[in-house]
Structure 1
Amino acid sequence: MNQFWGVDADPTAQGRIKGAKPVAVLDIGSNSVRLVVYERHARALTPLYNEKSACALGRGVGQTGRLAEANMKQALGAIQRFDLVARMMRVGKVHVLATSAVRDAANRQDFVDAVEALMDSKVQVLSGEQEAHYAALGAVAGIPGFSGIVGDLGGGSLELSRITDGSDTDGASFELGVIRLQDDSGGSPGQAAGIVRDRLQKSALPKAAKGASFAAIGGTWRSLAKLHQIARGYPLHMVQNYVVPADDMIQFCQEITGAASLKAYAGAEHVSSSRRELVPFGAAVLAEVLRVGQFANVVFSALGVREGYLYGMLDKREQAIDPLIQGAEELSVLRSRSPAHASDLVEFTGQFLDVSGTAETPEQRRLRIVACLLADIGWRAHPDYRGPQSVDAVAYGSMTGVDHPGRSFLAQVMAVRYDGLKSKAAARLAGLGTADLTARARLIGALFRVAYPMTAAMPGILPRIRFEVAGNALSLVLPGDLAFLDGEHLQGRLDQFAGVAGFKNSAMRVE
């Protein structure tokens, strides 16, 4: 007999990774309770479901030392629903994490017992040091190679860690969460700034190297990043890996904390009602952290404790996997006509770079591989919209391990690949990278336009074709049994590509 929340047959859609078992994290924070279900436990985490309930568990804990009954009731109601969601989605394991508000409350055990009864899973109440550790791992998971200080701002606390060579040290927790600051300051962002300065005197920030980077994690700081993007007219509304000079962010924070009221700052209408009054306190914390640490810039991370916890469970081999390439491989499997063709495309483009003497850094090669993996994800769209839709899928997708210039590169490659060299589909993003980055994107995109008329996105053809260079002439060499490919359409594509690549002449030759 079917249960009311599910069916006997596997409900998994064909657009999901075959055989993937969902994993979830229930994050019980001071401001909200959030359930995130990921498609599978891997290096590149793809959110399958994400929902939060603003329960404000941390409200008043600093003054009373207890979780308020009404807030606990609201949180338990949300958790009961999240348990249903997890069962309907056939989640293999739900990891339940509780942070500042729960660990600081005298009546925490009653709440923990109630959660465990609902979820049939043990609640892990993280210490401040553990919370700092997993937040740091979250930054590492989403921004491979990051080095600097990580800060995770919640409703009840601020956790700080130092990251060097992928490992975190000096983890510490401070009673500087936005709800606690609002309570402790009597609702004054100005007074909150003074409290932050006093409490940070015990931190490792003054010892941080001048000019280092600060990674900002937490919902309130994500809201702050979005407001900054809107205010500055930034073309990509993507918080992950958004980098801002520290001086600019300090000034922006001052504009928000200096507003007439907690809801009167510029752009407040773009912030959710549950977080609107908290943003000025998040701004006060960020401004003081950046000043005290003398940071050069702040980079925002959408990945935090939840993702860091799952990343920490992976073995060293899995942690070393490139999340951008793994994520692109998954998209290729799910959306392209033939994933094997992407491998041919990597070899084909690489062969041209080799014979033409075009230099390629490790990061450029990495982005070229990703571009090859994503090159055919738009085929289902109407021909007139394949370019714009593919650009949006790349620019606004959930992939991690890529900065904004990298997203710009990939988007520009997709625009040229589908719409040609005159495409405007990614023009708004071109300014995120350098002129050299745009030139390379046009080169790779134009090269894709040579490849696809020969292959129809199927493998086996490109490995038999090669480029040759003689002075200012570029030749595409075809095997004898493929001589019929030498036609007007392909020659036109080859001529366009040769022009982008800087060759005066181009031709096809059969051997």
Structure 2
Amino acid sequence: MSRGKPGGRFGIVDIGSNSVRLVVYAGAERNPVLVFNEKVMAGLGRALGSTGRLDPKGIERALDALRRFMALREQIGVPTLVAAATAAVRDAEDGPEFLARAEKICGFPIDLLSGADEARLSAQGVLSGIPEAEGLVGDLGGGSLELVPVAGGKPGPGATLPIGPLRLMDLAHGSLAEAEAVVDRALGEHDWLRNIQGNRFYAVGGVWRNLARIHMAHRDYPIHVLHQYTIPARDAADIARLIEKLGPKSLAQIPDVSERRVEALPFGALVLDKVIAAMKAKEVVISAYGLREGILFDRLNKKEQAKDPLIAGCRDLAGRLARFPQHGSEFFKWTAPLFGDGVLGETEAEARLRRAGCILADIGWYVHPDYRAHHAMMQILLAPFSGVDHAGRLFLARVGYHRHEGKGEPQMFGNIAGLIGERDHERALVLGLALRLAFTLSGATMGMLPKTKLEAGKNTLTLVVPKRHEPLIGEIVAKRLGALARAIGRKGDIRIGR
């Protein structure tokens, strides 16, 4: 599938039924860092349902896009490039002819994915970004819908249904009523959907992301990150039905709807409504990861695949922004006594978030002191992380804020504070205050912190410092130790050791 030397930037050309896209990542790694992304709405599959052939104008738009993408490959410098074609090219009678022309432009073979491969890779992409996903993945492209059950970190046997919005519009002659009958027939052929009733539905695809943006706007939701944005199934169905009723002019006036998606949106909404009903979904979780991320994940070695995507993402960001990216390991060990039994305690999931917060502790250092707290908070809140839900993002953002600001309360958190419970608010404050103390004590340098330790007793929190480092103890250290001790209901104390 790939052509080029290993290492360096990694690119994917995705030839879909509606769009043709070039995505370039910094490398083929567990945390894919996007460096370039361009999409052309070619509409290859616009008339496929009625003619069995690719749209003539779409063909030329797609080939023009590929010519530009190959020039961009040289300009950007992408040693390894993957190209894959999906439903429209796979199903069209003139697909082989188009593929031959496209391969001539690219200069290497293009993988024509089978329906089973497309479904598997889409599900693998979702799992790479949401490893704990349990339920049903649905990837809605212009020409098809891939449905794949996922559980235990692995995709199950899935299905490809010919009910992408472009194909639906063509088959139903633009009539939603006719499209509804087509969707009902297609879903009715898959009785196995009953076996996953009551689970989450993981939605992939541009049309469904637009529906999520509408829901965000309706809620005045301030975290504008679509990945792992969760919508109650009833809300998702209500929005889908509303969109089905609106005409193109009304849809075009919605600020959060892409102009390029207006025509397809009602048909995509119809499919979502029907899938929710068929599997009696409890929630719809938006995944920004799908086919392309699945292709990338498939290329990684076992060691890289096994990495935690959140921790990998935090390390990548810290590597770019922090003074000492390795500091996170020292912080994680040093803060452990605060989260042991008899103090705050922590689950395995909570320890994972604490580790992430420790890795990100220094990403705001280069900003003006008056703005560090809010800058660190926003960097974390809006970072392109995967493997973390919105509640986890908010926890980490609060840690970043308290690490710089102390006990203060960030003003913008007022309307989303309810996303995390009181326990997580407390844990974020304590971790932030501990990191604040750690930086002060160590002078923001490596190697000093492990020579000291925290001891949490029943009534006191003791900072133990070796005799030779006693001069490092000063007013600011004592003050910040006191603030941390009060946060866990104790009195601060300093003991000079040997």
1:268 aligned counterpart, secondary structure: coil
Cα distance in 2 for residues equivalent to 1:60 and 1:373: 51
Task: State which of 159, 166, 169 in structure 1 corresponds to 2:153.
Answer: 166
- CA deviations over 1:106-146 (Å, ceiling 9, x no partner): 11122111211121121111111111111110111000121
1:278 aligns with 2:246: no
Give 1:467 deviation, angstroms: 1.5
Asked if structure 2 preserves the Cα contact closer than 8 Å seen for 1:60 and 1:67, the reply is yes
Task: State which of 34, 39, 61 in structure 2 corresponds to 1:47.
Answer: 34
Give 1:409 deviation, angstroms: 0.5
Asked if structure 2 preserves the Cα contact closer than 8 Å seen for 1:99 and 1:131, the reply is yes
Asked if structure 2 preserves the Cα contact closer than 8 Å seen for 1:161 and 1:171, the reply is yes
Cα distance in 2 for residues equivalent to 1:426 and 1:410: 15
2:261 aligned counterpart, secondary structure: coil
1:338 aligned counterpart, secondary structure: coil
Give 1:354 deviation, angstroms: 3.4
Cα distance in 2 for residues equivalent to 1:494 and 1:365: 22
Match of 1:80 in 2: 67
Cα distance in 2 for residues equivalent to 1:506 and 1:485: 16
**In structure 2, do the counterparts of structure 1 residues 98 and 286 end up closer, same or farther at CA, with 3 Å as the change threshold?**
same
Task: State which of 384, 391, 411 in structure 2 corresponds to 1:405.
Answer: 391
- CA deviations over 1:309-347 (Å, ceiling 9, x no partner): 121222333221101111111112211101222211111
The alignment of Structure 1 onto Structure 2 pairs a total of residues equal to 491
Cα distance in 2 for residues equivalent to 1:48 and 1:269: 26
Letter in 1 for 2:103: E
Asked if structure 1 preserves the Cα contact closer than 8 Å seen for 2:67 and 2:106, the reply is yes
Cα distance in 2 for residues equivalent to 1:204 and 1:92: 45
Task: State which of 430, 443, 447 in structure 1 corresponds to 2:417.
Answer: 430
Cα distance in 1 for residues equivalent to 2:65 and 2:163: 26
Asked if structure 2 preserves the Cα contact closer than 8 Å seen for 1:351 and 1:467, the reply is yes
Task: State which of 225, 231, 246 in structure 1 corresponds to 2:212.
Answer: 225
Task: State which of 213, 216, 222 in structure 2 corresponds to 1:235.
Answer: 222
Task: State which of 161, 166, 176 in structure 2 corresponds to 1:189.
Answer: 176
Q: Structure 1: which 5+ runs fail to align?
A: 1-18
Give 1:214 deviation, angstroms: 1.0
Give 1:355 deviation, angstroms: 7.7
Match of 1:203 in 2: 190
> Which consecutive aligned stretches of 4+ in structure 1 deviate over 6 angstroms post-superposition?
none
Mapping for residues 252-267 of structure 1, pairs under 5 Å:
252-259=239-246, 261-265=247-251
Task: State which of 345, 368, 377 in structure 1 corresponds to 2:331.
Answer: 345
Match of 1:444 in 2: 431
Q: Which moved more, 1:246-255 or 1:197-206?
A: 197-206
Asked if structure 2 preserves the Cα contact closer than 8 Å seen for 1:220 and 1:278, the reply is yes
Asked if structure 1 preserves the Cα contact closer than 8 Å seen for 2:251 and 2:257, the reply is no
Match of 2:351 in 1: 365
Give 1:267 deviation, angstroms: 6.3
Cα distance in 1 for residues equivalent to 2:340 and 2:165: 54
Match of 1:4 in 2: none
Cα root mean square deviation, aligned: 1.7
Q: Structure 2: which 5+ runs fail to align?
A: 1-5
Cα distance in 2 for residues equivalent to 1:140 and 1:441: 27
Match of 1:509 in 2: 495
1:142 aligns with 2:129: yes
1:455 aligns with 2:456: no
Q: Which moved more, 1:264-273 or 1:137-146?
A: 264-273
Cα distance in 2 for residues equivalent to 1:469 and 1:64: 73
1:367 aligned counterpart, secondary structure: helix
- TM-score normalised by L of structure 1: 0.93
Cα distance in 1 for residues equivalent to 2:300 and 2:191: 29
Percent of pairs with identical residues: 38
Match of 1:16 in 2: none
Letter in 1 for 2:357: A
Q: Which moved more, 1:56-65 or 1:356-365?
A: 356-365
Give 1:205 deviation, angstroms: 4.9
1:208 aligned counterpart, secondary structure: helix
Mapping for residues 51-130 of structure 1, pairs under 5 Å:
51-130=38-117
Asked if structure 2 preserves the Cα contact closer than 8 Å seen for 1:255 and 1:265, the reply is no
Cα distance in 1 for residues equivalent to 2:181 and 2:218: 26
Asked if structure 2 preserves the Cα contact closer than 8 Å seen for 1:151 and 1:161, the reply is yes
- TM-score normalised by L of structure 2: 0.95
Mapping for residues 20-35 of structure 1, pairs under 5 Å:
21-35=8-22
Asked if structure 2 preserves the Cα contact closer than 8 Å seen for 1:388 and 1:425, the reply is no
Asked if structure 2 preserves the Cα contact closer than 8 Å seen for 1:394 and 1:410, the reply is yes
Give 1:252 deviation, angstroms: 1.4
Task: State which of 382, 387, 392 in structure 1 corresponds to 2:378.
Answer: 392
Mapping for residues 306-345 of structure 1, pairs under 5 Å:
306-345=292-331
**In structure 2, do the counterparts of structure 1 residues 426 and 330 end up closer, same or farther at CA, with 3 Å as the change threshold?**
farther
**In structure 2, do the counterparts of structure 1 residues 381 and 355 end up closer, same or farther at CA, with 3 Å as the change threshold?**
same
Cα distance in 1 for residues equivalent to 2:55 and 2:298: 33
Q: Which moved more, 1:469-478 or 1:242-251?
A: 469-478
1:289 aligns with 2:275: yes
2:21 aligned counterpart, secondary structure: strand
Give 1:188 deviation, angstroms: 3.0
Asked if structure 2 preserves the Cα contact closer than 8 Å seen for 1:227 and 1:267, the reply is no
Letter in 1 for 2:26: E
Asked if structure 1 preserves the Cα contact closer than 8 Å seen for 2:12 and 2:24, the reply is yes
